[in-house]
């Protein structure tokens, strides 16, 4: 009994003092500039009061209550997010399975052996019956991790688990952004449908006017046909916009994982915006490390680094221990009486001598995997930097574009009003009015597209800077 305790203390001390053959991990240098790009496309200005997207809860960022409810529904019901959560649970279970190998597994066993053999003694024959009963508690083939092989395998599994958590977080941020953009797209298409219907009415009145003028010989058939083209184009756009609204709702239902309540569907783009707009005009590159997709890539890199240590340890001896403490007796009734104690200790060691290059190639594979994960990590950072830079470039010129589009729309509206009045007064021909109608229609559509781009840009900038986790 005392020997078992002493041996256990020694083996545990050896395990705790085991060396680690994994390379020392040093976070790679960021493969991007330290600051966001500068230039005429990027906005400048006072950073005071700008929020930090990674520290801003999505409920605080999305200010439209209908959109916030749709996002909350998606986070509760989206099947892709549920799949990501299940993957996290799988990785957690695998890590716990691997971690269990660090400690010896204790097993209890019992056995009974009945035997009978012929017995010949002093000229007499007979049979000898022997009954042996055993009960034991012990450990079987526990690897004493002197060179860190099991420890590094456990570390690799742990990093895979952490990576799966960050992948789930990345899925959440993407889901929030996709849901917001789908909602905003439906809002814009609803406005597009409204514009087409309004212009259909205007074009219809112009068509009827030209038909009346043609019947009285005041206008030509050319005027009627030209008015007909604008009217029919508006009708076609109404049909197309109606289809787009239905498809937008289908896409929104898929993201939400259920049918979105009618009261939460948008009727038009919110005039005040659906999000806060005080996002920073620039970003330091190290902020990208808070993005969940980049954090996931780094955990994959750490896992590959630990696997190198496990592959290196395979070149060294493997020491295992099997030990048991129990009782043995020839009678069941005396199994647990004094004097029936028994114990056994069987340490073992194995050293690879010739394995046809198996361990060497496993090490090569582990190092190549690390190189692949390093490239993936660096590309994730570069991709994140590009996404932020693109969003900042779009934001930097959005104010000027919006002002220009609004001025264009207002000018086109006044031009149409004046040209129609001159046409009805007989001062100008219908062609001028027709051109004004088409210019106004195009200006309305362009302004709507610009408003949607501005709203989507705020969502993309929030996501690219690591927002959406809270």
Q: Does residue 353 form part of some domain? A: no
Q: Which of 173-177, 325-329, 397-401, 466-470 has the highest mean pLDDT?
A: 173-177
Tell me the pLDDT tens digit for each residue of 396-437. Answer: 888 888 899 889 988 988 888 888 787 777 777 677 777 788
Q: Does residue 326 form part of some domain? A: no
Pair 391, 461: CB distance under 8 Å: yes
Q: Does residue 5 form part of some domain? A: no
Q: Does residue 428 form part of some domain? A: yes
Q: Is 18 exposed, middle or buried (0-12, 13-18, 19+ CB in 10 A)?
A: middle
Domain that holds residue 312: 20-102+145-316+360-464
Q: Is 189 exposed, middle or buried (0-12, 13-18, 19+ CB in 10 A)?
A: buried
Pair 187, 207: CB distance under 8 Å: no
Q: Does residue 46 form part of some domain? A: yes
Total of domains in the chain:
1
CATH code of the domain covering residue 89: 1.20.1600.10
Does the global pTM surpass 0.85? no
Tell me the pLDDT tens digit for each residue of 301-343. Answer: 999 999 898 888 888 887 777 777 767 666 566 656 666 677 7
Classify residue 120 as left (phi > 0), alpha (psi -120 to 50) or beta: beta
Q: Does residue 130 form part of some domain? A: no
Q: Does residue 113 form part of some domain? A: no
Q: What is the mean pLDDT of residues 211-230?
A: 81
What pLDDT is stored for residue 1 in this prediction?
A: 44
Q: Does residue 14 form part of some domain? A: no
CA angle 334, 335, 336 (to 5 degrees): 95
**Count of CA atoms in the C-beta half-sphere (13 A) of 11:** 24
Q: Is 466 exposed, middle or buried (0-12, 13-18, 19+ CB in 10 A)?
A: buried
């Amino acid at each position: 009994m005392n020997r078992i305790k002493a041996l256990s203390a020694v083996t545990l001390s050896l395990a705790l003092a085991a060396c680690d053959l994994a390379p020392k991990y040093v976070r790679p240098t960021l493969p991007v500039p330290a600051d966001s790009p500068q230039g005429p496309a990027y906005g400048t200005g006072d950073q005071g009061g700008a929020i930090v997207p990674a520290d801003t809860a999505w409920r605080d960022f999305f200010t439209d209550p209908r959109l916030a409810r749709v996002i909350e529904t998606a986070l509760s019901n989206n099947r892709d997010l549920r799949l990501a959560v299940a993957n996290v649970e799988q990785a957690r279970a695998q890590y716990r399975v691997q971690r269990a190998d660090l400690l010896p597994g204790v097993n209890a066993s019992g056995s009974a052996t009945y035997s009978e053999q012929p017995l010949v003694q002093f000229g007499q024959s007979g049979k000898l019956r022997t009954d042996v009963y055993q009960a034991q508690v012990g450990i079987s083939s526990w690897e004493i991790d002197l060179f860190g092989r099991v420890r590094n395998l456990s570390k690799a599994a742990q990093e895979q688990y952490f990576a799966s958590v960050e992948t789930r977080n990345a899925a959440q941020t993407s889901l929030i952004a996709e849901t917001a953009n789908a909602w905003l797209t439906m809002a814009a298409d609803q406005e597009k449908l409204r514009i087409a219907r309004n212009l259909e009415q205007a074009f219809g009145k112009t068509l009827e006017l030209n038909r009346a003028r043609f019947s009285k010989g005041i206008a030509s058939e050319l005027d009627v046909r030209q008015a007909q083209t604008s009217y029919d184009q508006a009708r076609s756009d109404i049909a197309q916009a109606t289809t787009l609204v239905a498809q937008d709702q289908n896409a929104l239902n898929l993201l939400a994982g259920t049918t979105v309540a009618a009261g939460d569907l948008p009727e038009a783009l919110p005039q005040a915006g659906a999000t806060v707009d005080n996002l920073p005009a620039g970003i330091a590159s190290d902020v990208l490390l808070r993005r969940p997709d980049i954090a996931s890539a780094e955990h994959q890199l750490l896992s590959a680094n630990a696997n190198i240590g496990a592959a290196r340890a395979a070149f060294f001896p493997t020491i295992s221990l099997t030990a048991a403490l129990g009782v043995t007796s020839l009678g069941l009734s005396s199994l647990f009486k004094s004097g029936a104690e028994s114990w056994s200790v069987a340490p073992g060691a194995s050293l690879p001598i010739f394995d046809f290059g198996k361990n060497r190639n496993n090490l090569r594979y582990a190092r190549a995997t690390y190189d692949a994960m390093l490239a993936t990590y660096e590309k994730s950072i570069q991709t994140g930097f590009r996404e932020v830079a693109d969003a900042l470039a779009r934001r930097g010129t959005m104010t000027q574009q919006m002002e220009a589009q609004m001025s264009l729309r207002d000018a086109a509206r006044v031009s149409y009003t004046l040209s129609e009045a001159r046409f009805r007064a007989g001062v100008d021909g219908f062609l001028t009015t027709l051109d004004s109608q088409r210019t106004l229609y195009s200006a309305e559509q362009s302004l709507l597209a610009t408003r949607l781009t501005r709203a989507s840009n705020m969502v993309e900038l929030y996501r690219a800077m690591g927002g959406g986790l809270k």
